[in-house]
Amino acid sequence: MTIPERRASVVVVARDGTVLGRLPEFPVPTPWWQEAQPVVQGVRDRFGLEIVVLRLLDTELPHPQGGGVTYVAEPRGRVPVDVAARLLPFDGRLDEQPLRLRWATPGGPAEDLAWAEGVLRRRRLERVGHAEQLRSWNLSSIWRLPLRDGAAWLKVVPPFFAHEGDILRRLQGGPVPRLLGHDRDRILLADIAGSDRYDAAPDELPEMVTLLVDLQAAWIGRIGQLRSIGLPDWRGRSLTAGIDEVVERHAATLPADAVAGLEAFIAGLPARFDALAACGLPDTIVHGDFHPGNVRGGGDLRGEDGAGAGNHALTLLDWGDCGIGNPLLDLSAFLDRIPAESRSTVRDHWADEWRRHLPGSDPVEAGRLIGPVAAARQALIYQHFLDHIEPTERRYHEADVPDWLLRTAALAAGGA
């Protein structure tokens, strides 16, 4: 499917919220709405103005990505006279929203950057050059802070992801980013060499799985520690109640046969969870969004002989989605994001890794049983996002809940 070109229009507001005007629309080289850096660069190149993107205001299309997008932004410093003269009138309305995030308000990003600067000073790390805004949307605000030696990454998350810093602190020494500092929803991370492995080579995929399984196995029997951090509970009773509620909320908009299938699926969840328990894989930490793009590696991960460089070169990113539940809740999301020809090999490796840790367990049957449960969990997660973000940002996720419920119904009907 071809994604339409993104075109950005920016409404510029002062620190006190006063609207200064709107910049003329311009093309953006990437389609992803949440990517702020190309918008910042476009305003710099075309209008000579430094801005901070605060939030989404309106979109031409109902769902991501591409099309005309209107953002609210604040200037970094004073607006030059010649730039002010080019601002167009803005006839829309900017309102206040109780769910608006701190970084989506004027002055909010500056507060976050000031906190990060304090962490760098305490660690005697010297920043060189301006902080670079990379992303701004309802799930994160991400900045790159160039240092004399490398870089640091500031990530600010919504309240429902505020456990990310705490879990990273407990996972230090494992295959996770090195934590420089954290304060509730703010996290400062050390740079990781390499690239995000969206297009990972087939022989890298089993290495990623091994890293996750080893980490999950190490946390078996430590549910109390995970609960103390405030991780979401995706174990049988809690997850069943959540799935039941989200299906009830969307039943009126779904096909009748899908609703009937979902109701039968929910009625059978207690027995399904009993069968999962019998497979011998205890509840532990679940990454929640495990896919190759959330793994970062050093270099091209290969030596001169073409062999893989090893697990030490890989780092598992983005732990805000993590929770407590069956470890195979991470299986289907990973398989969905890799080439079809690699799935059988990766699935077999996943099962072998769990049998290595838990001899006598049945990860193959657990993987079959958990398929529709994992899909239903996705619907629940997206509903949680929708319930805790302001209205204009909801279009990022509105289509996801019904899509995942229909997928759940299809998987359950297919005998999974």
Query: What is the spatial distance between Cα 333 and Cα 339, in angstroms, rounded to a whole number?
Result: 12
Average pLDDT over residues 226-254: 96
Question: Residue 97: pLDDT band by 50, 70, 90 thresholds?
Answer: very high
Q: What is the DSSP string of 197-254?
A: -TT--GGGHHHHHHHHHHHHHHTTT-HHHHHHHT--B-SHHHHHHHHHHHHHHHGGGS
* Cβ-contact 152, 143 below 8 angstroms: no
Domain 103-190 part of CATH 1.10.3720.10:
no
15: tokens are 């620190």
Q: What is the pLDDT of residues 334-344, one digit of tens each?
A: 999 999 999 99
Q: Model's pTM, two decimal places?
A: 0.92
* Cβ-contact 144, 134 below 8 angstroms: yes
Instruction: Fill in the amino acid letter for 355.
Output: R
Query: What is the spatial distance between Cα 400 and Cα 416, in angstroms, rounded to a whole number?
Result: 21
Average pLDDT over residues 364-384: 97
Instruction: Name the CATH code of domain 195-413 (choices 3.40.50.300, 3.90.1200.10, 3.50.50.60, 3.40.50.1820).
Output: 3.90.1200.10
Question: Residue 312: pLDDT band by 50, 70, 90 thresholds?
Answer: very low
Average pLDDT over residues 354-381: 97
Average pLDDT over residues 357-361: 98
Q: What is the pLDDT of residues 150-203, one digit of tens each?
A: 999 999 999 999 999 999 999 999 999 999 999 999 999 999 988 889 889 999
Is the pLDDT confidence value at 302 over 70? no
Query: What is the spatial distance between Cα 194 and Cα 302, in angstroms, rounded to a whole number?
Result: 12
Task: Identify the residue whose tokens are 């760098």.
Answer: 120
- pLDDT averaged over every residue in the chain: 94
Q: What is the pLDDT of residues 22-80, one digit of tens each?
A: 999 999 999 999 999 999 999 999 999 999 999 999 999 998 999 999 999 999 989 99
Is the pLDDT confidence value at 308 over 70? no
Q: Residue 305: what pLDDT?
A: 40
Domain boundaries, the chain: 6-94, 103-190, 195-413
Number of residues written out for the chain: 416
Instruction: Return the percentage of the chain with pLDDT > 90, whole number.
Output: 91
Q: What is the DSSP string of 120-178?
A: HHHTT--B-S--EEEEEETTEEEEEEEETTEEEEEEE--GGGTTHHHHHHHHTTSSSPP
Question: Residue 304: pLDDT band by 50, 70, 90 thresholds?
Answer: very low
Q: Residue 311: what pLDDT?
A: 40
Q: What is the pLDDT of residues 188-230, one digit of tens each?
A: 999 998 888 988 999 999 999 999 999 999 999 999 999 999 9
Q: What is the pLDDT of residues 9-28, one digit of tens each?
A: 999 999 999 999 999 999 99
Query: What is the spatial distance between Cα 51 and Cα 370, in angstroms, rounded to a whole number?
Result: 46
Q: What is the pLDDT of residues 111-129, one digit of tens each?
A: 999 999 999 999 999 999 8
Q: Residue 143: what pLDDT?
A: 98
Among 58, 60, 55, 57, smallest CA distance to 74 is for 55
Q: What is the pLDDT of residues 246-300, one digit of tens each?
A: 999 999 999 999 999 999 999 999 999 999 999 999 999 999 999 999 999 955 5
* Cβ-contact 271, 369 below 8 angstroms: no
Is the pLDDT confidence value at 415 over 80? no
Q: Residue 335: what pLDDT?
A: 97
* Cβ-contact 396, 64 below 8 angstroms: yes
Element (H, E) at 56: strand 51-59
Q: Residue 299: what pLDDT?
A: 52
Distances (CA, A) of 301 to 113, 178, 207: 33, 19, 11
